[in-house]
Homo-oligomer: A and B are copies of this chain.
């Protein structure tokens, strides 16, 4: 005689099964089940929303940012939601930090399937004529070079799993530069190109590389932008985006549903002008 528990599970199983058959399998419900994801700069704002969403969609997520206390707070918050999230400090500009981030994921979960490269700085707000060589170094190092090198660091792990998915976070400023944010805008344009180059080179390793270009999203770090009327005018939008508005597309791009999408940038900008 079957126990009630079995009956319950059996009943659920049947319900699930019909869902699964209609939607070609479990992927539809938990599209990232058992995937391991690294998300940089993920203790706040857009990165945090992405980390949460990847975990909600089934992934084991390693969050990271530069400060231990921010990592601890983010991990606690997401674990409190029942999500599989751990964290480590990582300053992406440092080679040893990038390696430790990779090692953390591999040690905890046995590999890496997903990288979301979100860390970026904007070391300067003002006239491009006042940007020093050091500021250029910083913005190109953190925003461009670190994305390239972090991708390089995860590729061997992705290859061991038969492939993977990288999402680089750029900005609409990549297409329409923001006034007073010259170096930031330039670095974000470079990321659109980096996405193309990495996609071209990594296709043979079954690794897809795509890019997210958020518009004006209401976060703590972008406050100077969305409080600036001139910039809001530039972006021609009425309402600001929310960090969550950026999360679904990243999960999608990392899922099986996006398996023929690589090298592409998706703008999440509420209709702000970007490109054709």
Contact = CB atoms under 8 A, between A and B. Distances in A.
Interface of A: 4, 7-9, 11-12, 15, 18-19, 21-24, 28-29, 55-57, 81-83, 95, 127-129, 131, 133, 136-137, 140, 144-145, 148-149, 152, 155, 174-177, 179, 182-183, 185-190, 192-194, 196-203, 215, 233-234, 236, 238, 241-242, 245-249, 252, 255, 257-271, 273-276
Contacts of A179: 200-201
Contact of A193 (B56, B145, B186): B186
A276 B140 contact: no
B174 A145 contact: no
B133 A144 contact: no
A177 B196 contact: yes
Contact of A133 (B56, B149, B275): B149
A266 B261 contact: yes
Given A7-B7, A95-B133, A233-B236, 4 more contacts: A19-B29, A189-B194, A193-B276, A200-B271
Nearest to A244: B24
B140 A144 contact: yes
Contacts of A262: 270-271
A49 to B, nearest CB: 11
B186 A144 contact: yes
Contacts of A7: 4, 7-8
Given A8-B12, A11-B11, A24-B56, A269 B260 contact: yes
Contacts of A271: 199-200, 203, 262-263
A40 B259 CA distance: 24
B242 A249 contact: no
Contacts of A193: 174, 177, 185-186, 188-190, 276
Contacts of A261: 245, 249, 266-269
B177 A152 contact: no
5 contacts: A22-B56, A22-B82, A28-B57, A176-B196, A261-B269
